[in-house]
Amino acid sequence: MKIQQFFFCARSSIFTLAVLLFLVFQLMPFKGLDFILSVVSILAIALSLSSCKLFTRLMSIVFLTLGTWMVWNKDFSFVSYIKLYGDMLYLLSLFLIVPLLSIPIQVGEYRKVFEQLFQKRVKSISQFYRIITGLSYFLGSFLNLAAIPIVHSSVKSAVDVQQIDEPKRFLASSIIQGYSLPNMWTPLSGVVGAVLYVTDVSWIYIFPTLFLISLVTLIFNWTLFSIIEHKKSGRVKQETAVTAEHTLPDSHPLFFRKMLQTLLAIILLLLLIVGVDAVFSLGLTVSVTLITLPFAWLWCLTLRKGQAFMPMIKQHFTHKVGEMSESFAIFLSAGFFVQALQYSGNDRFVNQLFVQFSELVGVHFFLFLIPYITLLLAYLGMHPIVVVTLLAQSLAPDILGVPPEQLAIAFLGGAVMTFYMGPFSGTLGLMSSIIDVAPLRISRWSLVQVIGFSFILTAAFWLG
């Protein structure tokens, strides 16, 4: 037991150290710090491999073995080999820091306010679905995966009292279909940071298109559900549950004040991120990582809950960070593989294959297929961000004859499809653990929505 605790503390320390060194290197690139960062990354991989799941361990070893083999067949030095490690720390920094935004949500008791959305009369299951997906979309835009358990705990009691044929399917589908869409445009999403990083596309430039695609898809999902529900003639026969003690009706000023606070916080956070990135040119992901912690602290101070902030920060770094072995193992290993692919020159061979394929099927159809290729690889067990990074690093838009903005949109569309249906994505895995239903079964519940989303994405390519 003491040995396990020791390794857990060691993982927490090394993971945190890797992120801190990465951020320092982005702000002040001291000579030799990149080598130290690579060494710490290797140590992080070694510690994480011993505690992650078997499949993740095998995938990581495959990436490390193939990458090492490619470099071995190329003239290299020991120092150059070591420096190939640490490529995806920008994403891991995001994953480690962004969850801190859930602290003001917890200490500000916003969850009770979210529950008020379901304390009014619900006239139809369709209206109920719109409220849940809307809340999931809203929270998913800045809380990432933390939005899923928050929405679930806020709505489960209300769902339980409704006469719904398959309550687990209804709850899981509505949350996932709302949560997945903002991950296409929000800068706090890891996949957005990854795509913009590897394609070198400006977030401001493609944000309007991404936001519009997500909104059109959300409205499509609402319309589709209403049509299906109308055919079933399903109506809510039992009205909302009795309000819990100390809760307030949704017409109370506190409800509107809390909801307005959250909305203003999201807008302010997005403006700060874009502003810092524009002024300092640190990159969107680094800007998000640097702003999140002080922003969460200031939010708590405005709520007069500053004294609760530090204990929760301590809990996060001592109890949560050590549980990130899966992420550190797969992303650092995949990052090494990508760097080895470029170092060995094999990325040109992969790019040439895609060029020939693009010429064979046409540019528009090629863009249409990219999200499905991403989804297919996700079904084979690869995380969508890993898939997107591997593909994007191997594709040169100028050689393919594809605008980099459209390529970025295609990759983000593929990521959204994997959040909808990818059985090995964090989205379905988390939902599976919450409702005790197999991820493969959950993935089938969003098939029609994914098909609809792909057509909306294709229309955006043609109109663009």
Cα–Cα distance for residue pair 104/309, rounded to 1 Å:
8
pTM recorded for the entire structure: 0.87
Using an 8 Å Cβ cutoff, are 395 and 411 in contact?
Answer: no
pLDDT in tens, the chain (464 residues): 688 888 999 999 999 999 999 999 999 988 899 999 999 999 999 999 988 888 889 999 999 999 999 999 887 788 999 999 998 999 999 999 999 999 999 998 888 777 776 666 567 889 889 999 999 999 999 988 889 999 998 888 888 877 788 899 999 999 999 999 999 999 999 899 989 988 889 999 999 999 999 999 999 999 999 998 887 754 444 433 333 333 444 445 667 788 888 889 999 999 999 999 989 988 889 999 999 999 999 999 999 999 999 999 999 999 999 999 999 999 999 999 989 988 988 888 877 888 888 888 887 788 889 999 888 888 877 777 888 877 877 777 777 778 899 999 999 999 999 999 988 777 888 898 899 898 889 999 999 999 999 999 999 988 86
| Neighbouring residues of 344: CB distance < 8 A, sequence distance ≥ 6 | 70, 71, 73, 74
Count Cα neighbours of 326 within 13 Å in the Cβ-side half-sphere.
13
Please report the DSSP string for 232-296 in residue order.
HT----S-PPPPPTT---TTSHHHHHHHHHHHHHHHHHHHHHHHHHHHH---HHHHHHHHHHHHH
Tell me how far apart the 2 most distant CA atoms of the chain are, in Å: 72
- Closest of 324, 269, 412 to residue 92, by C-alpha: 324
Using an 8 Å Cβ cutoff, are 86 and 332 in contact?
Answer: yes
